[in-house]
Amino acid sequence: QSMLRKIGAVVAALVVWTIVVTVLNFGLRYGFPGYAAVEKAMTFTLGMMEARLAISFVATLSAGAVTAWVARDRALWPLITGVVLLAIFIPVHLGIWEHFPLWYHLTFLPSLPILSVLGGRLVRS
């Protein structure tokens, strides 16, 4: 049961990550002037890229916190969640590499395991 709980924690965290990113991205579409017009072409301004990273940071912290809360583990399983997110997003970012500057990829990708662990630490044991 304990291992199923931990695996379920990672699955729940991935669902939470997706929900948080989706909801906040709707906020960008409707609240950030010009964002919706360039989203499909991925021709974002610096401010738009920073906003996208901020959304990801909130989602990743949330995912780490959910993992820690469900798995009852504040370190290892949030790290596993971050590594799973990294494994998911490396191929995605290879596919969109030319749409973003190098700093964007080098900020987003390492943030996944780091912020997932930090999110896990936000949960009381």
pTM summary value: 0.96
- Confidence at 124, pLDDT banded by 50, 70, 90: confident
- Say which residues have a Cβ less than 8 Å from residue 31's Cβ, sequence separation at least 6: none
CB of 12 within 8 A of CB of 70?
A: yes
**pLDDT tens track for 52-100:** 999 999 999 999 999 999 999 999 999 999 999 999 999 999 999 999 9
Looking at the predicted structure, is the pLDDT value of residue 6 above 90? yes
**pLDDT tens track for 26-64:** 999 999 999 999 999 999 999 999 999 999 999 999 999
- Say which residues have a Cβ less than 8 Å from residue 23's Cβ, sequence separation at least 6: none
